[in-house]
Structure 1
Amino acid sequence: MMETAPLFDVIARGPEGGAAYWLKTEDGYRIRMGHWPAPSDARGTVFLLCGRTEYIEKYGPAAVEFAARGYGMLAIDWRGQGLADRVLPKDPMKGHVGGILDYQLDLKAVIAAAKELGLPEPFHFVGHSMGGAIGLRHIMTPGHVFASAAFSAPMWGIKAPAPLHPFRILLAQLFGDSFMAESFAPGMTDETYVYRSSFNENRLTRDPAMWSWLISQAAAEPALTIGGATIHWVAESLLECEALSALPSPDLPCYCALGGEEKIVHTPAVHDRMARWPNAAFDVMPGSEHEIMMEVPATRTKFYDRCAEMFDAAGGRDAGVRAESA
């Protein structure tokens, strides 16, 4: 039996019936999985693979949207964030990971838990930012469980200052495992992002209601938050993006959305990947920032509709038959 974990329903704003569980990875980390059920005639389950700094409760509204379209949803606190074990216990606000492929062990544990719970299949995923890199790596592995893949501003490249960008891989190799590895990357602090940016300057959303909600979540449950990334995390991520870029796109239905005002991930890497993904759909959302699912209502609705259309088609269901509330 999986052990029940806390789920902060009040701040999550998810569908009724949500639950969270502690999972143990094969290398001994305790991570948290949250699940919100689908309607009785479920079309499948969506795995929400969130980005760095994020946590399960941030995606309660996404679960509402997917439930309205016939899908259950689960979300993950990756190791080092949310309520999962922190990788640097003495510096719990640092965003750190031992190796970027360690996240695959977290995803492996979640897939096993989803099967143990008997969650409705087929399985699909939405990978946001860092979760987009984790998800892409997974579906490049033979025997994966997913029928289709959707991405929101995927971290397939990391934006570096223009003068340093040509040297980013060399710098990652030089400093990633140096004596500085566990130090914050330049410009990073232990303060969570929504506290160190204003709405007018933030790079996540142009929706003031969503921005206020994110601040209220951090204030209500500060244990969910983390600060900036370490030099080692950045180095590992740069090297993983470089490794992924050399591989062909998997033979899997794919939808990807990118904000027209994206300032966090390296957008040429996203355009390059989507140009090499046969029969994939790609939207650039005009005026949108990094977090498509936290954007203004029209943008969010378009994203969820496009995801559900692909999930329906990949699952062999009639995309025209949806919950009336969708």
Structure 2
Amino acid sequence: MTDLFTENFLFHEIEGNPRPENATGGFFTTRDRKNIRYGLFGAVARPLKGTVVLLSGRNECIEKYFETIRNLADRGFGVATLDWRGQGDSDRLTRDRQRGYVRSFRDYTADLEQFFEEIVLPDCRGPYYILAHSAGALITLLAAPSMVNRVRRMVLIAPFLTLPDLPVSISTVRRACSLF
């Protein structure tokens, strides 16, 4: 991928929240033939401390996290992130691009595992950390068994474990998570 492509087409400019330095990325194709957009952002400070895999919440995209990415890069961390299927510039599963949709959260965990295998492990410096918000934190919890030997630490912010006004006990959440 050329810098010109990355600079002009891969990431969208947001007034007041510029694209971080050292931005590259592209798309990878999932096993069920969906194109997933990802971004890699190199650390700008030394010493290099590893890579933070930044996982967004529902209805969010890479650009929303530019400020966070700059803050991490300024502290010596590289950042790897992606747009979940049905979000951002990744493929949609319906004709309506305004609606995010996924058949199963297992699709998200499979995408995360493939992202690690094909992009993060070969292209990013370890050790690896995960910083995840909302639905990204839930996906991380579901994928945790496959991440145990890859990731040093996880910070999960407001994991999407319940819907408002639909109380679910923690034992029900445990049972549901153990099904995956």
The reply to whether TM is greater than 0.5 is: yes
CA contact (8 A) 2:113 2:146 kept: no
Residue 59 to residue 242, structure 1, CA distance change in 2 (3 Å): farther
Measure the CA separation in 1 of the matches of 2:127 and 2:49: 7
- TM alignment of 1:227-266, pairs within 5 A: 243-244=176-177
2:161 is the alignment partner of 1:156 = yes
Unmatched runs of 5 consecutive residues or more in structure 2: none
Aligned length: 170
- TM alignment of 1:1-326, pairs within 5 A: 6-11=10-15, 12-39=17-44, 40-88=46-94, 90-111=95-116, 112-117=118-123, 119-141=124-146, 144-159=149-164, 161=165, 165=166, 243-244=176-177
Shift of 1:9: 4.4
CA RMSD of the aligned region, Å?
2.7
Q: SS at the partner of 1:32? A: strand
**Cα deviation code 1:154-173 (max 9, x no counterpart):** 112222x3xxx36x79xxxx
Higher strand share: 2
**Cα deviation code 1:127-173 (max 9, x no counterpart):** 100000011111133654111000111112222x3xxx36x79xxxx
Q: Which amino acid aligns with 2:71?
A: E
- TM-score, normalised to structure 1, is 0.47
Q: SS at the partner of 2:11? A: coil
CA contact (8 A) 1:133 1:241 kept: no
Measure the CA separation in 1 of the matches of 2:173 and 2:93: 19
Residue 142 to residue 107, structure 1, CA distance change in 2 (3 Å): closer
Q: Identity, % of aligned pairs?
A: 31
Q: Which amino acid aligns with 1:243?
A: A
Shift of 1:105: 1.9
Q: Which amino acid aligns with 1:8?
A: H
CA contact (8 A) 1:24 1:109 kept: no
Unmatched runs of 5 consecutive residues or more in structure 1: 170-238, 248-326
CA contact (8 A) 2:36 2:89 kept: yes
Measure the CA separation in 2 of the matches of 1:36 and 1:242: 37
CA contact (8 A) 2:41 2:69 kept: yes
Measure the CA separation in 2 of the matches of 1:142 and 1:57: 25
Q: Which amino acid aligns with 2:154?
A: A
Measure the CA separation in 1 of the matches of 2:80 and 2:24: 9
Measure the CA separation in 2 of the matches of 1:140 and 1:59: 26
Measure the CA separation in 2 of the matches of 1:17 and 1:9: 15
